[in-house]
Amino acid sequence: MANIVVDKYVYEVEIDASNPNAVPLGMGLMKGDILVYQGESNLVRLPVGTDGQVLTADSTSPLGVAWKTPAT
User: Model confidence over 7-41: pLDDT tens digits?
Assistant: 565 666 666 667 766 666 666 677 888 888 887 76
CB atoms within 10 A of CB 56: 13
Q: Is the model's pTM score more than 0.75?
A: no
- pLDDT, residue 16, reads 66
Work out the end-to-end distance of the chain between its first and last CA atoms, rounded to an integer number of angstroms: 47
Task: Determine contact, residues 57/64, Cβ cutoff 8 Å.
Answer: yes
Residue 37 included in any domain: no
Question: What's the total number of domains in the chain?
Answer: 1
Residue 17 included in any domain: no
Adjacent-strand bridge partners of 46? 34
Task: Determine contact, residues 39/64, Cβ cutoff 8 Å.
Answer: no
Adjacent-strand bridge partners of 34? 46
The domain containing residue 64 runs over which residues? 46-72
Torsions phi, psi for 13 (to 5 deg): -130, 155
Residue 7 included in any domain: no
Residue 20 included in any domain: no
Residue 51 included in any domain: yes
